[in-house]
Structure 1
């Protein structure tokens, strides 16, 4: 996902390119200065009607509460017991936010949390960051500070010894940089160190009702933004113009989001191209991106056409939609994750777009939650079984080199007895939003 600085850059690109997008686009986009004012809360009358009609949704965000964070700690401690782990170190990143509410960056200065198999977590942070750490944490209040001339790894080792892990087993969260892991291991030479993946993934891969509500809101917002931008498309727009419209549309909703946009033959690459692109009648456009609601992300892809779609695009769209539906129907608890990829891939290969990865060149999907890509993966060879509460992208595609591509992506939620998509499917290339 893109941060505020990148979103600001998207807006600047939109304003710059709207001035040179061509006479056909200018009447729709209005004067650049007026559009910027509308984006910043001024006169919205210069925005395209479909974007101006978007309503704020930020007030509907219900943040994760303290009770749920304590449940996460309890679940982590249960998993530590099952896997023989005495304590887990988590550094800056998504898992730190998941358990504690802290938002921190990875720098040369160590900040992290140590989760013990029993008892309260302990935070280790630079002493000058103590106040900001206490301000952010939503689980526990035991903060141990280290001064600039002190060894932070010695402090981590001291905390771990206090938890009885001096000769025990310590889990390191999987995204902790190697230099940091080595520092902890060197400071506690008689301990055994393991990957904390069974604990972190064991908690995060199963979404609670509160998490699902945030993901549903984010995905519904993304779909509404895409529809509004689709209705505002005009010949002559560049990919940056369209991405700028996406950013402006998200600004209307109050959620931060963005989309990668590709046009025409550049849609034949799953992740598009940086080459300059311009929209013409009958040209396919792929939007791929999302937004965040209290840290939970959406990820939706839509393939649309400005004007009338050709028969070749129409046929491919219908095959991809059938493949997405086939994966949805195959999904239920107890089914191997690879079976969903196989179900979608069979539809595409049977339709003549094979063999194997020839035209559907990537896996069917990835796990999603606080990170856009997280455990697990819907791919051949993954025999892990689906469980209720798991969430994945369901995103088959067909990519015809130098011509065009079609991809459809919605988020799949495994329910108690089947599966659902968090947003309605795109029913047709003529009516991509129903």
Structure 2
């Protein structure tokens, strides 16, 4: 029997979890103010006159305002010089003021008025009569088109060179939040493994994962939860039907949740019972591919170089080629922060250069349709000289959680 798998139950494991929410403090108003300063410095460097933050993660990252998107534009205008101004429907102004982590003027537009004209007025009051406006890269098309129509004298670009650039370069506190979130989810993964028993369903496991993340102190239940048994583990993003666990099945769980806005994302694959030679070989191959990814990770390389290293191990073992199955159909990994998937992406041919402070997954997924799949996912931090793990990878196919 695989060490650390089975022998307990979900009720016992849930009772043993402790709340760790306050282990690392959330991002405060002072840090949000520094983010605004860094954004304006970056805008000046790039010749950008103003930035529009829609109701997206970019707005939450910059200002702490978590509003979301709807058919009515809500967001913030940041000129290259001067204060940030929030924009929302007039009937939302008073509520929005209660939601602000970073103080600022809130301007409202009535239902029969043009919100984009208000955006134009805000720019004029900030002495921005022309130039380049960076639009939130996650804004809806109708918002982008409305802003373009209201500002015919401006040039528009996506906000990535400002928002993406800054969000990729994590501060020490951001790294600490991610490390804490990852560690908490890894503990829950180990608890789920101990609670496995023959006959349990993927639905029951998912319910445990949801309850466990809430009890551990995350912002809520999992942002995503993939639980697979047996042949279904070959499908990277899961299948639309539940499965029942039986002896000898591969188990794959990919789960994460936000902690003070920063998302965990850990995948573990193991065998319920005694691994076969085939299961053992593929697990070890995936483990070696993951190790190859961090071995090349350092500042100055591209995300594509990590994918090349990971994929090279799998292809050298006779799988593929490229993204063909049986093999590795999935990119090697992705950046992570307040979004579970954000730049940079560790994908074949990726040209984005990695900088110190980048955090992201290395998660080779070996897919063998009709048999099983293995994915081992942990996250790295790009340091000044190389890379380090935010959590320790699985130890071995016989002792995935390092119990012995």
TM-score (norm 1): 0.88
Q: 2:288 maps to which residue?
A: 322
Distance in 2 (alpha carbons) for counterparts of 1:190 and 1:427: 59
Q: Do the aligned partners of 2:74 and 2:89 also contact (CA within 8 Å) in 1?
A: yes
1:365 to 333, 336, 343: 333
Q: Do the aligned partners of 1:52 and 1:252 also contact (CA within 8 Å) in 2?
A: no
Distance in 1 (alpha carbons) for counterparts of 2:154 and 2:141: 17
Q: Match of 2:208, SS?
A: helix
Q: 1:161 maps to which residue?
A: 124
Q: Match of 1:207, SS?
A: coil
Aligned length: 392
Q: 2:235 maps to which residue?
A: 269
Q: Do the aligned partners of 1:86 and 1:163 also contact (CA within 8 Å) in 2?
A: no
Q: 1:237 maps to which residue?
A: 200
Distance in 2 (alpha carbons) for counterparts of 1:337 and 1:260: 25
Structure 1 segments, 4+ long, off by >3 Å, are none
Deviation, structure 1 residue 118: 1.1
Q: Is 2:247 aligned against 1:281?
A: yes
1:376 to 320, 339, 344: 344
Q: 2:214 maps to which residue?
A: 251
TM-score (norm 2): 0.94
**Structure 2 portions without partners, runs of 5+:** 1-5
Q: Do the aligned partners of 1:286 and 1:303 also contact (CA within 8 Å) in 2?
A: yes
Counting only pairs closer than 5 Å after superposition, residues 82-101 of structure 1 correspond to structure 2 as 82-101=45-64
Deviation, structure 1 residue 426: 0.4
Distance in 1 (alpha carbons) for counterparts of 2:209 and 2:229: 15
Deviation, structure 1 residue 276: 2.8
Q: Do the aligned partners of 1:51 and 1:229 also contact (CA within 8 Å) in 2?
A: no
Q: Do the aligned partners of 2:79 and 2:128 also contact (CA within 8 Å) in 1?
A: no
Q: 1:391 maps to which residue?
A: 359
Deviations 1:368-395 (A, max 9, x none): 1000001111112112221110011100
Distance in 1 (alpha carbons) for counterparts of 2:172 and 2:245: 41
Deviations 1:139-188 (A, max 9, x none): 23211111222211111111112223332221111111111111111112
Q: Do the aligned partners of 2:254 and 2:267 also contact (CA within 8 Å) in 1?
A: yes
Q: 1:19 maps to which residue?
A: none
Q: 2:80 maps to which residue?
A: 117
Q: Indicate the RMSD between aligned Cα atoms, in angstroms.
A: 1.5
Deviations 1:250-304 (A, max 9, x none): 2321213432101110111111211231100110111012011110001111002
Q: Match of 2:53, SS?
A: strand
Deviation, structure 1 residue 28: 7.1
Q: Do the aligned partners of 1:316 and 1:406 also contact (CA within 8 Å) in 2?
A: yes
Q: Which moved more, 1:317-326 or 1:105-114?
A: 105-114
Q: Match of 2:71, SS?
A: coil
Distance in 2 (alpha carbons) for counterparts of 1:161 and 1:232: 61
Distance in 1 (alpha carbons) for counterparts of 2:132 and 2:177: 35
Distance in 2 (alpha carbons) for counterparts of 1:273 and 1:179: 34
Deviation, structure 1 residue 364: 0.3
Distance in 2 (alpha carbons) for counterparts of 1:229 and 1:216: 20
Q: Is 2:158 aligned against 1:190?
A: no
Q: Do the aligned partners of 1:86 and 1:164 also contact (CA within 8 Å) in 2?
A: no
Distance in 2 (alpha carbons) for counterparts of 1:118 and 1:165: 9
Q: 2:266 maps to which residue?
A: 300
